[in-house]
Amino acid sequence: MLEILIATNNLGKVKEIKDILDSPEIKILTMKDFPHLPKIEEDGKTYQENAFKKARKISEYTGKICLADDSGLEIDYLKGKPGIYSSRWGNSDEERINKVLKLLENIPKNKRNAKFVCVAILVFPDGKIYTVKEECKGSIEFKPKGEHGFGYDPIFLVPEYDKTFAELGDKIKNQISHRGKAMRRMINIINELVVNE
């Protein structure tokens, strides 16, 4: 059995990743299992840099296999913003959502295209690294809808369902989301590692 530490303090992410990685071959550890971990500054210029820094530093500190991801919302009209700064665009989900809606005020539906991007990295204490990148395309709603999820989920509209991530609920979201797709690819990598142990 592989022990894997999820390198994030975001409880929404932890729940999502645990749901997707649910496997008898994997024991999931979280940051709560290591209360004295140092704070990792996400100062990279790309999703990959941020994810790698989190996973590598925490793997070095704990001696565990670490899984980290960095993700963001990229809005075409805003030239890809907020991007890697998505979680730092305000002090709360509500504040971040309101900022996006304000910047897109009076922008028509056909110019509100956006995508979520996720880079997930698995780092081993011996230096092995596995990286995957996935996207989910959609658009920005005119107002928040739905009660599920976290972050920008209430305003990210998925065209195939004509619903926001927050309306779809965890099960469907995890099948189609950027993080869901990335983590399923990571599961395949982990399963191969378990078989080859």
Domains, the chain, ranges and CATH? 2-195 (3.90.950.10)
What was the pLDDT predicted at 4?
Answer: 92
Catalytic one among 33, 70, 93, 162? 70
140 touches 153 (CB < 8 A): no
Phi, psi of 148 (to 5 degrees): -95, 175
Across 113-138, average pLDDT: 96
pTM for the full model?
0.89
Tell me how far apart the alpha carbons of residues 147 and 154 are, in angstroms, rounded to a whole number: 7
pLDDT cut 90: percent of the chain above it: 70
Active site residue 22: no
